[in-house]
Structure 1
Amino acid sequence: MKNICLNMERFSLLAFIFIPITFTYGFNGESFELECPDECDCHYFRINWVTDCSESNLTEIPYDELSMSVYILDLNGNNITTLKAFPGDIKMRRLQIANNRLTRVDREAFKGLEYLIDVDLSGNNISYVDPEAFLDSRGLLNVELQDNPISVVDGPFLISTTLQYLDISSCNLSEINPQFFDNLTSLTTVDLSNNPLKTLDGSVFDVLTSLETLKLNDCKLTTISESVFSTSINLKNLELAGNQLSNTNWPELLGKMIRLEYLNLRKSGITSLSEDTFSNCTNLVTLILADNELRDLDVAAILGSSVDHLELLDLSNCKIQGPISGEAFANASRLKSLYLSGNPLFAPDLQEALEPLPKLERLFLSNCGLRNLPDNFNVFDNLQELDISHNPLVNVFTKLLAPLEKLEYLNMGYSNLSYIGPDSFSKMTSMKRLVLSGNDLLSLEAGLFGNLTQLTTLELELCGLKRPLNANVFFKNLTYMDLREIRLGGNPLVIPDSGPVFPKQLSQVTILDLSNCNITSLNADAFKNTENLTELNLAGNRIKSEYDSLSFLERLHQLEKINLSNNNLTTIDPQVFVNNPKLHSLNLIGNPFVCDCKIAEMWDWANMIKGNLDVLIGAKSAERDIVVKGNKKKKHLYCHYNETQLRNMSLPINKTVPGRRPFMKPRELSFANRTWAKYVRESGCEPVVKILRPVALVAELFDFNDGHISSGTIVLAITLATTTIVMTLRLFRRRDAPAEDTENNRKLR
């Protein structure tokens, strides 16, 4: 009777644990209730189901394996040549099928996709688009078709009363016919850049009365009809960069654009501008004329008196030969940002021209051939940013910059500096960001940064420094509380074999860049004086997978992000991060990892211990990979099988392991390189994280031979069961949470 009661006790406890486990681990851990094709990685993004089949060598879409609740379907970077109709009940909002081999967009393929909001078909071989392709998608907002050889369109391009964003850049379009936009009257943004249009006829944009942003960059335009923007009264942003518009009648072309705020004419072949060019653009805030040969430009005449709202003027690289007159900016007294980089300037002329700009906040004088600087910087009471980089200044600037006590950003990079005097920055007590990169400094003077007590960022990349920052460049016994970011990338640093790398004055630094510094190892106390680091960049070094090679991590309890990409790591154990509880971003891309079960351990550590695979950069789609107009190419985590593994794994692989989603079809190992996601599934490596092995854990806890269950075992079992139930409830709550498709939500997505 006693044995029967004991067995009943065991059975009840096991049932208490295993019932919720059955729910939680029924299908791939957290996502048991939704289908996922074999070649894809599926996960939640916020409350939405993402099916990521990108770069999976697919030749066709796995229609039969898709969940009807898929919100985002990512098929980028495959070899898909044709599209068939999707299942009728699918709720897909976003379809990404960029960089495949599609040749047509037919209506049949998108028939019934009533919920579709965004579609990305860029980077294919599409030559034909059915105008009625998206007729069923009544909430369609964004279409990307850039980088396709569409070339010729007769009549209307698409029919959509809701479409707001259309990107058809780089589509080899040589003509926009008068009916092209007839059925797209809700468009607010159109990108036609990099099409060989050459000319624009007068009525092509007439129906686009809601248009706010138009991009026509690099279209080989030589002729634009003077009436082409006559109905574009709501146009606020116009980009015409990279064309040949030397014969354009600008006053007539821009005459109706009374609401224009942003105009980009960069590198447009303009050699001269009349005095009334911008006379009607009274709301112009940003004007970019950079990279045009405006040798004889009369800045004062061009700006006139109508651009009194102008806040940003870019005249970079305009080859202005004549001296800039003292009246040049007299009518633009509201200027806050002035770009004069790349023009041959002389300090005396510059001094006179800048005098009417007391409100100037940002001044860029990079690559102007300046050997001296104006000596009237004292008039710029509001100057916060100054770029004098890439000038042959040598060592003549110290006293001239002294009046800039409110300066917050100073860039003196690549200015042939070999010596910076110890008093150079003594009065710049408001300095927050200082850039000295690209100067062959070799060493730094004692007390150089002493007075920069508000400094937040210090950049000393590619300065030939062999020693990291010495204590004597700062005030002794003073902690620089605001100094949070130091960039030393590209220096041939010699790291000591023992002891801290940085002085105690830098104890508050949180972001440290030591990339490409030829580092082979870091001792355990390397960051003893900088234990508050939250971001550490060690990319591009030569760190190997040797004993204690990552022991320096033990001190970094605040670490949130670490970049170890492109080193020489062949294996890594999640145990090395046991002292980094706040770590949420780990970049291991580009290391020569060998496919072994340590890869699976890292995967389980990210997925279950950290609770988010996004911790491992490249493990799955990140937010930046699935946003509209986002990055099409993403990098994955890879490992490779060695020759012995390949020989021993020639049989079909279709192992089912607790906590892993099994393959639906047999698979064979045919090539050595694998993404971590695929390797973890096909390897058969059992989960080693305790929470992933509830059955094994309980089996270890229960000693059925001695006929006794300890109280500790019962407490641990109840804790495990409670945790599992909580996880399950969270999954159900996330699955059932409403997803409102408001306009604001769509834009956020």
Structure 2
Amino acid sequence: MARTTVYLIYLLALPFSYGYNGDSFELECPDECDCHYFRINWVTDCSESNLTSIPYDELSLSVYILDLNGNNITSLQRFPNDIKMRRLQIANNRLTRVDRDAFKGLDYLIDIDLSGNNISYVDPEAFLDSHGLLNVELQDNPLNMIEGPFLMSSTLQYLDISNCNLSIINSQFFDNITSLTTLDLSNNPLISLEGDVFNVLTSLETLKINDCKLNIITGNLFSSLINLKNLEMAGNDLSNINWPEVLGTLTRLEYLNLRKSGLTSLSEDTFSNCTNLVTLILAENELRDLDVAVTLGNSVNHLEVLDLSNCKIKGPISGDAFANATRMKSLYLSGNPLFAPDLQEALAPLPKLEKLFLSNCGLSNLPDNFNVFENLLELDISHNPLVNVFTRLLAPLEKIEYLNMGYSNLSYIGPETFAHMTSLKKLVLSGNDLLSLEAGLFGNLTQLTALELEFCGLKRPINANAFFKNLTYTDLREIKLGGNPLVIPPTGPLFPKQLSQVTVLDLSNCNITSLNPDAFKNTENLTELNLASNQIKAEDESLLFLETLRHLEKINLSNNNLTTIDPQLFVNNPKLHSINLIGNPFICDCKIAEMWDWANMIKGDLDVLIGAKSAEKDIVVKGNKKKKYLYCHYNEAQLRNMTIITNKTVPGRRPFVKPREWTYANRTWAKYVRESGCEPVVKILRPVALIADFFDESHGRNISTPALILAVMALALGLGTVIMTLRLFQKRQVSEMDTENNRKQR
């Protein structure tokens, strides 16, 4: 009787034990894939798995997001009937065409990503069954010339066909996708756009035709785009365009980007009808003789952002250049040869200016009328050959909150330089060969929140003398010291007590090989610590400094020399929710599995391990196609035994359906944990795993009382999991309609 009881308990508990390699397997999941819930949606991540075909027969009908990016899939077949997939990602595969039946029956499809394939043909009716389709990504495919309408979809709002080798857009191209609000045609060799090609797109709000080698645009091209607000035409050759005629009907235009478009001159009525223009980008054009006052005229009364960076303006900017742009809040003049006296006169009419960027302007001195800019909050004077005697000129900027003086050949900054900038919140001094910091330099910056001292040749992190003695800088929360050849002391703290409230610290690329246990004794409030691109090894005491960081939430240890990692290292970091270990030469052993189980079951979220599974940024429109994963590698001896290990069923791990063999050493952590043969070691998992082992060994034996107790514990775990699962699905049913409506509103 006891034996039967244990058997029944084991059958109840076993289904729940097969989820502990990091995934939830209430729903079907193909062998080569990583499956998990993203919020309440079932995600099947088969990306970068060397697939040559889609595992149609292994997919759950409830899959919400299917990620097949980065495989070797060459063709598409029909998906199973009644599948409820919303987002399909097949980017960076080897597809050559999309036929009519490829997506037949995908009634729920909202987003599809087919970018980065070799697709030359797309059937116009390919998405006819997807009645709620909103977004299609086809960029980076060699599409053949399209004759007639391109696609049929009454709901499509976002279409990206950039870099598709299209040389002609015929007049019927958009006839059956008239609901488009965003269209990207960038990086196609169009050369010319003529006639009424956009006439049916009356709902279009954003149009991108960057880098299309355009040199011909007819005057009436945009005449029907009555709702167009954002227009990007950067990277073309538009030197001979009749701009007043082309832009004349775009009365609602708010954002215009003509960056690097071959412009050499602009007439005085270029923007005469663009009376709602808020942002104008003319950067990287050879506007040597630009008369800013004449070009802007009276038509830019609403202009708030003007970018004239790197326009090679050779003449002095006239005093009335910005006279009619009195609402200007952000002005970018970086990369133009400027002189302080001319600049002083031109900026005088801009008392409302909040952001001024003068980087790389050849300035050896600064205008002396900064007292005019009572509202100036951000100033960038970086990459200028500034002398070390401009303290007096900056003194009036008492309200400034952001100051960038980086890469300005400064070797000395006087202790009075920032004495009056008591509102300063972010100071950038990176790229100056400072070597040391003067006593009292940051003394009056009591509201400073961020300090950047990257690549300054500093060997000592920060000298206590740079701050007032016995004063804690409570607002200073972020310090960046990356790229300095720091010499780490073998004992004692790195930073003075004045910085005890710092929460974000960047020590990346500092040639650090180890940190002593008391390195952060004076900065125990750290929540984010960046130690990326150093030389930290997996030695016994290399990470003991973590014991003092009880408030730590994020740590970046990527691209170091770690070969193993133990979850016990983080036992004193209860708030930790993000660990970046990508790029380390990890060896595939059971410590990897322990870390996985710790993140999944103790922390309750695999997202704690960056690169363990697809993140939110990987499942959005125009998302990141090439994800960075956590990898480990087998040595040769391990690889020889892999066939036996990977076909072994381990309680607590999902078994493989088909026999398999490995011939390559690098594995993602997700795949290694499953195939490793490492049993779950997290305490909460032990009852389930032990019951399974016990039953295998108990044939012909009497069942002991401890075994029955263990079985009851497993049953309790199983029942608890059932209750949580039922609640999850109830929540999913209630929220699914709201989620669907939210996605349709994008």
Are 2:738 and 1:746 aligned? Answer: no
Q: Which of 225, 232, 236 pairs up with 1:243?
A: 236
Q: Distance in 1 between matches of 2:713 and 2:486?
A: 50
Q: Distance in 2 between matches of 1:650 and 1:231?
A: 64
Equivalent residues in 2 for 1:231-630 (5 A)? 231-630=224-623
Asked whether the 8 Å contact 2:554–2:576 carries over to 1, the reply is yes
Deviation at 1:33, TM superposition (A): 2.4
Q: Secondary structure at the match of 2:72?
A: coil
Are 2:18 and 1:21 aligned? Answer: no
Asked whether the 8 Å contact 1:59–1:78 carries over to 2, the reply is yes
Q: Secondary structure at the match of 1:230?
A: coil
Q: Distance in 1 between matches of 2:717 and 2:354?
A: 55
Cα 1:748/1:721, change in 2 over 3 Å: farther
Are 2:726 and 1:732 aligned? Answer: yes
Asked whether the 8 Å contact 2:19–2:25 carries over to 1, the reply is yes
Which residue in 2 is equivalent to 1:119? 112
Which residue in 2 is equivalent to 1:88? 81
Cα 1:649/1:719, change in 2 over 3 Å: closer
Q: Distance in 1 between matches of 2:104 and 2:585?
A: 45
Asked whether the 8 Å contact 2:253–2:274 carries over to 1, the reply is yes
Asked whether the 8 Å contact 2:645–2:677 carries over to 1, the reply is no
Q: Deviations over 1:216-242 (max 9, x none)?
A: 000000000100001111000000000
List alignment gaps of at least 5 residues for structure 1: 1-6
Equivalent residues in 2 for 1:126-165 (5 A)? 126-165=119-158
Output the TM-score relative to the length of structure 2: 0.95
AA partner of residue 33 (structure 2): C
Q: Distance in 1 between matches of 2:20 and 2:568?
A: 24
Deviation at 1:742, TM superposition (A): 5.8
Asked whether the 8 Å contact 1:119–1:143 carries over to 2, the reply is yes
Q: Distance in 2 between matches of 1:697 and 1:477?
A: 58
Q: Distance in 2 between matches of 1:580 and 1:92?
A: 38
AA partner of residue 177 (structure 2): L
Q: Which of 18, 43, 46 pairs up with 2:39?
A: 46
Cα 1:372/1:56, change in 2 over 3 Å: same
Q: Deviations over 1:38-66 (max 9, x none)?
A: 00000000100000000000010001111
Q: Distance in 1 between matches of 2:146 and 2:430?
A: 50
AA partner of residue 740 (structure 1): M
Q: Deviations over 1:472-497 (max 9, x none)?
A: 11111111111111000000000010
Equivalent residues in 2 for 1:220-239 (5 A)? 220-239=213-232
Q: Distance in 2 between matches of 1:152 and 1:741?
A: 40
List alignment gaps of at least 5 residues for structure 2: 695-700
Asked whether the 8 Å contact 2:133–2:156 carries over to 1, the reply is yes
Cα 1:26/1:416, change in 2 over 3 Å: closer
Asked whether the 8 Å contact 1:281–1:306 carries over to 2, the reply is yes
Are 2:67 and 1:70 aligned? Answer: no
Equivalent residues in 2 for 1:672-683 (5 A)? 672-683=665-676
Cα 1:426/1:62, change in 2 over 3 Å: same
Q: Secondary structure at the match of 2:485?
A: coil
Q: Distance in 1 between matches of 2:645 and 2:703?
A: 42
Q: Secondary structure at the match of 1:31?
A: coil
Q: Deviations over 1:244-265 (max 9, x none)?
A: 0000000010000000000000
Asked whether the 8 Å contact 1:652–1:669 carries over to 2, the reply is no
Cα 1:707/1:36, change in 2 over 3 Å: closer
Q: Secondary structure at the match of 1:109?
A: coil
Cα 1:637/1:135, change in 2 over 3 Å: same
AA partner of residue 541 (structure 1): N
AA partner of residue 255 (structure 2): Y
Q: Secondary structure at the match of 2:65?
A: strand
Deviation at 1:658, TM superposition (A): 1.6
Deviation at 1:726, TM superposition (A): 3.7
- Structure of greater relative contact order (alpha carbons < 8 Å, 6+ residues apart): 2
Q: Distance in 2 between matches of 1:314 and 1:707?
A: 80
> Higher mean Cα deviation, 147-156 or 639-648?
639-648
Q: Distance in 1 between matches of 2:444 and 2:242?
A: 54
Asked whether the 8 Å contact 2:365–2:387 carries over to 1, the reply is no
Asked whether the 8 Å contact 2:402–2:424 carries over to 1, the reply is yes
Output the TM-score relative to the length of structure 1: 0.95
Asked whether the 8 Å contact 2:16–2:721 carries over to 1, the reply is yes
Q: Distance in 1 between matches of 2:124 and 2:691?
A: 61
Cα 1:699/1:621, change in 2 over 3 Å: closer
Deviation at 1:397, TM superposition (A): 1.9
What is the aligned-residue RMSD (CA, Å)? 2.4
Asked whether the 8 Å contact 2:194–2:217 carries over to 1, the reply is yes
Q: Distance in 1 between matches of 2:625 and 2:688?
A: 42
Q: Distance in 1 between matches of 2:138 and 2:687?
A: 49
Q: Deviations over 1:425-453 (max 9, x none)?
A: 11101011100001111110011111111
AA partner of residue 667 (structure 1): R
Q: Secondary structure at the match of 2:74?
A: coil
Cα 1:697/1:455, change in 2 over 3 Å: farther
Which residue in 2 is equivalent to 1:4? none
Q: Distance in 2 between matches of 1:526 and 1:253?
A: 62
Cα 1:229/1:658, change in 2 over 3 Å: same
Q: Which of 173, 181, 195 pairs up with 2:174?
A: 181
AA partner of residue 724 (structure 2): R
Q: Distance in 1 between matches of 2:244 and 2:727?
A: 60
Q: Deviations over 1:240-298 (max 9, x none)?
A: 00000000000010000000000000010010011011010010000000001111111
Q: Secondary structure at the match of 2:102?
A: helix
Q: Secondary structure at the match of 2:596?
A: helix
Deviation at 1:653, TM superposition (A): 2.6
Cα 1:313/1:554, change in 2 over 3 Å: same
Cα 1:17/1:455, change in 2 over 3 Å: farther
Deviation at 1:470, TM superposition (A): 1.3
Q: Distance in 2 between matches of 1:742 and 1:254?
A: 39
AA partner of residue 746 (structure 1): R
Deviation at 1:26, TM superposition (A): 5.2
Asked whether the 8 Å contact 1:652–1:666 carries over to 2, the reply is no
Q: Distance in 2 between matches of 1:698 and 1:649?
A: 26
Q: Distance in 1 between matches of 2:660 and 2:578?
A: 32
- Identity across matched positions, percent: 79
Deviation at 1:645, TM superposition (A): 1.5
Deviation at 1:626, TM superposition (A): 1.1
Q: Secondary structure at the match of 1:110?
A: coil
Asked whether the 8 Å contact 2:651–2:689 carries over to 1, the reply is no
Q: Distance in 2 between matches of 1:247 and 1:498?
A: 68
Q: Secondary structure at the match of 2:595?
A: helix
Q: Distance in 1 between matches of 2:693 and 2:417?
A: 68
Deviation at 1:396, TM superposition (A): 2.6
Q: Distance in 1 between matches of 2:740 and 2:535?
A: 48
Deviation at 1:698, TM superposition (A): 7.6
Q: Distance in 2 between matches of 1:161 and 1:699?
A: 55
State the aligned residue count: 738
Q: Distance in 1 between matches of 2:122 and 2:27?
A: 32
Q: Deviations over 1:361-416 (max 9, x none)?
A: 00000000000000000110100000000000031321111110000000000000
